[in-house]
Structure 1
């Protein structure tokens, strides 16, 4: 005997049907009201969920009707379920006229049955909806949306029959038997929910997320680096839409002490490993002193350590930034204390333990840096914006057969250009297409776009605009796709007021393009361009919006975290006050990672192409 279906089976079948039919609000309501064990908060975690195929509820109902019809024909008894029999009227309208028509049809059909004149139903014919033939499991569905609308709305056929009834004599006109259609389960093709979200919370109460970064290699695009307080971890996120959080595996760099912190991290462009700097403390002569370790973290737990020389700053400096150049040949680190700054450069081909190939100490704090070419970079800090180049020192070897600067001998970091300033600049970004740099001062609420390719660093014409306050994040459009190889690039600025400002940048000037906004003017705290530069994502601490840059920043996606899984006031109040969210696209441009405090959400876009009308993809 077949096993009975439980409430979870039925709820899941209905839940899947509502999603497949496009009834997202109803699916969300069922999701919220469905009482199930904690281990099955995600319905996809239910043990039978992987066995449920597409349109399974419809298949079960259709099979049940077929079995009922077959049983009735064998036992010579009436069918139990008469929904689809030809002598059952379709759903009547609320209007009295439609009821009269239905009663008149039943009387006519009864007379036809009595006279043995009831016709055999006509063969099914395929109908089209939105220009396409409807299919479920290969069988054409019978759809007549016009007839359904006529009956339900009381117009069309019902109105016509009412007028005839009022104009004609009371004597019933003999009518031919009426061909009735079986009820259709779907009248138009629906699109699947636009996103699938996987949530999880760090199991370590002492940990808090600083940043998350997808592996930049397409072959390893499911690997996610997550670092922060007492945290340095690789996650492997499954690619299947039906996977749950239990399918996510992780690998820790090491058992980090509770007082440790990953202060800077980045992937090598090849995606083979990530480089991290950890600050901890150790007991020395009865007191605890900070220590710094820099290492490459590879899959399988392999680590290679660098000789980080932040002790040269006296007291030791804190590493704030790690940057690989675009070719992956050189690694740059930025360290600072309250008085001075230090920039170190490593040649990737040199042994890690041999120390940096070049370094430079600054008389004031340096807070950030960005590569402008494989051998040049711009640094910013306290009253400082300077362009530097790597150069071989005069006493270096003249052996030209040695391929790298490091192998050729000692080399220097030489200042080339500088911008006179008194502000404290803490963030810097670079536009590789036109050679501009954007620098932001959080303390002074100033932002500049500079032309750093000329002999002197100077502000770009047209920038800054009148208001550059409350800037929380900035990002130049990525340029890997041919669609954006020519013409202006875009600079996006996130504002604490909830707006996202877009600027067009050419080689000679900057122009204001448009102003976007998050829902309900929530503060925009993070930005991320997709790898092909087609899409811009911005987030508050609990919602995300995505715009299409190719189509003049048309909004294409709106996502909001589930309230019972993600509450901003809890994150900011209990799990790291003042923390900023981390937002990033994977290498394929198909997944977003969103993290803050101890909470992580991976949002997978599921539609056939991301360029769709604005949808509410509420993470369900």
Structure 2
């Protein structure tokens, strides 16, 4: 290799710094560097630089670490001092403590006479959290909390063959259950760690606790109860997993996290859907598993497991009428008053909705013989279902399926026996069997209960239809609004209404805000209004863009103040105020907070860069809007927002 080829160019350094700023979430600083960086027009996008593909994740940290180890090796060969002696000073050591150490002769340097040795007192924010253990000495089962801005995001490993690194005496281990195989060692069933996060100056104060679960996680959801005693219960489900975590309200108490596993969860099963009762008194999981028959064959078994807040649980098989083939449970939905439980199942050919009466006094009674009080069989696969009232719901699916039904409360309650030969519908009143006159697949339905605005979304056709006709029997289809979306929509969610907004405005004054996430990483915010004269009106207010990856999951905080958007690599948060138009002009809003989970391998296996599949995350806000749960694969992260 020639000397010219091996020379370090300014573009090399700039790209390393630029990548580092993006990886730790310093988006504003990365944007400023991108603007001030003078380079050729062909390389305006830094990823077009000829060497960009060779730069791996966390490359800047790796380069610095390699240089420090080389400096250590050179000092041993020369039997002299290291060139970069500043690495021997603890970066988190206070100035006063460092000066005392110098005055006591530890690593002291000559000082000129006549000048004070000490420094004037400096007011600094106290560090209330234990310093993370260096990565090479990290305990695999430790638990730590972290506050934005109180940790250097670029932790260079100071461990070397000289043995200078020491464990931080302040690091505390969590008080949790003991391992039955090693009774003398107190450790968690899960491994606990800290997630990397970034606070931009204009953003809220955040702190994070992060842990790894022993089984793949599909979804997590906070208890919707506003009671502080119940609001910090986090339900986590996945492969043979149904676990209730009791998460403290502050990262200071992160080591006190405990959990309870659902005892009736069968082995080799998977939870396909989960839902909390709106009153927070219990939750339900749909479980799919293979049951072995006496002749050795296996039968697909689907059951529901209901768990109440007092720890009791009951499970029952999904009875007739049955789909053939069985398909899977797509979604569970409790009615707004927690009176009914709706189960939506689908296979490749047909769909089925079943409704059960939900127990009011918990689920610790014998529910093995419970049967649905209503059902509806469809000739097309289902995609989505949602309650629009205490007893009314809307379904959507293939071939333009869009229908609205209501539970027939006048039917007799004595429906303890249901035969397989029952009709296609029972116990329901059909209000509208064809809401939209379309033939393409409708895979998402969202309803704003305060403004009575309904939205159907088609990923197949890249269209969104807004209709106010669900509760307006006299409205004509002409009042609907059909929008062509720029990309394939992935996630959709309405901004919730606060109690103050409900009390100070009527249904025609304030618009509904709808967030739509796309596969290219953008997220559009739409303002939806309606009036008796002109019907529905929809305009795009703002456009958001993730730093990297698709916008696979979105979630509004219950108070409507924050919007979280994420994928398997990061979660970013925007304030609702930043989404408003400025001087009537649509703009690109900037994220106020970015979180990135820590990866021990950084995507490198056996020296090769591993291309990981795109993982769909789960985002869930607590009822008080102060905690955001971020779940992907085996990682669970609780972000506290103040």
Interval of TM-score (by shorter of Structure 1 and Structure 2): 0.5 to 0.7
The separation in 1 between residues aligned to 2:101 and 2:221, in whole angstroms, is: 50
2:217 maps to which of 187, 203, 209:
209
Aligned to 1:436: 453
1:402-444 Cα distance to aligned partner (Å, 9 max, x none): xxxxxxxx98211111223322222221111121222223344
Report how far residue 587 of structure 1 moved.
1.6
Map 1:16-165 onto structure 2 (within 5 A): 57=94, 60=97, 87-88=115-116
Report how far residue 241 of structure 1 moved.
2.4
Report how far residue 531 of structure 1 moved.
0.6
The separation in 2 between residues aligned to 1:265 and 1:515, in whole angstroms, is: 32
1:554-603 Cα distance to aligned partner (Å, 9 max, x none): 64523141453485899xx9999554111121122122111111222222
Contact 1:310–1:335 under 8 Å retained in 2: no
The separation in 1 between residues aligned to 2:480 and 2:525, in whole angstroms, is: 13
Aligned pair count?
443
The separation in 1 between residues aligned to 2:455 and 2:413, in whole angstroms, is: 35
The separation in 2 between residues aligned to 1:540 and 1:372, in whole angstroms, is: 29
Map 1:239-250 onto structure 2 (within 5 A): 239-244=249-254, 247-250=256-259
1:450-502 Cα distance to aligned partner (Å, 9 max, x none): 22222278768573333253101000111134147631110100011111111
Taking structure 1 as reference, are residues 500 and 444 closer, same or farther at Cα in structure 2, changes over 3 Å only? same
2:386 maps to which of 350, 361, 370:
370
Map 1:47-446 onto structure 2 (within 5 A): 57=94, 60=97, 87-88=115-116, 194-204=205-215, 208-218=216-226, 219=228, 220-244=230-254, 247-254=256-263, 256-257=265-266, 259-284=268-293, 285-299=295-309, 301-306=311-316, 308-309=318-319, 312-349=322-359, 352=367, 353-383=369-399, 384-393=401-410, 412-417=427-432, 418-419=434-435, 420-446=437-463
Report how far residue 282 of structure 1 moved.
0.9
Contact 1:295–1:305 under 8 Å retained in 2: yes
Matched, 1:517 2:544: yes
2:563 maps to which of 536, 556, 559:
536
| 3-state SS in 2 of match to 1:506 | strand
Matched, 1:502 2:519: no
TM-score by length of 2: 0.60
The separation in 2 between residues aligned to 1:368 and 1:443, in whole angstroms, is: 14
Contact 2:285–2:305 under 8 Å retained in 1: yes
| 3-state SS in 2 of match to 1:532 | coil
TM-score by length of 1: 0.62
Aligned to 1:47: none
Taking structure 1 as reference, are residues 216 and 56 closer, same or farther at Cα in structure 2, changes over 3 Å only? farther
The separation in 1 between residues aligned to 2:446 and 2:383, in whole angstroms, is: 13
Taking structure 1 as reference, are residues 34 and 235 closer, same or farther at Cα in structure 2, changes over 3 Å only? farther
Aligned to 1:470: 488
Query: Structure 1 regions of 5+ residues with no counterpart?
Result: 1-23, 36-54, 69-79, 92-123, 128-133, 138-189, 398-409, 610-620
Contact 1:334–1:341 under 8 Å retained in 2: yes
Report how far residue 30 of structure 1 moved.
10
Structure with higher RCO (Cα < 8 A, 6+ apart):
2
Contact 2:376–2:426 under 8 Å retained in 1: no
Report how far residue 251 of structure 1 moved.
1.6
Map 1:440-455 onto structure 2 (within 5 A): 440-451=457-468, 452-455=470-473
| 3-state SS in 2 of match to 1:242 | helix
Contact 2:467–2:480 under 8 Å retained in 1: no
The separation in 2 between residues aligned to 1:310 and 1:468, in whole angstroms, is: 43
| 3-state SS in 1 of match to 2:94 | helix
Report how far residue 388 of structure 1 moved.
0.7
1:252-303 Cα distance to aligned partner (Å, 9 max, x none): 1137455311111101112221111101011223321100111212356421
Aligned to 1:581: 617
Report how far residue 198 of structure 1 moved.
2.1
Taking structure 1 as reference, are residues 566 and 275 closer, same or farther at Cα in structure 2, changes over 3 Å only? farther
Aligned to 1:49: none
Contact 1:263–1:279 under 8 Å retained in 2: yes
Contact 2:525–2:579 under 8 Å retained in 1: no
| 3-state SS in 1 of match to 2:322 | helix
Q: Which stretch of structure 1 is more off in the superposition, 313-322 or 490-499? A: 313-322
Matched, 1:561 2:602: no
Asked which structure has the greater CA Rg, the reply is 1
Query: Structure 2 regions of 5+ residues with no counterpart?
Result: 1-28, 31-57, 67-91, 127-200, 415-424, 581-588
Taking structure 1 as reference, are residues 433 and 566 closer, same or farther at Cα in structure 2, changes over 3 Å only? farther
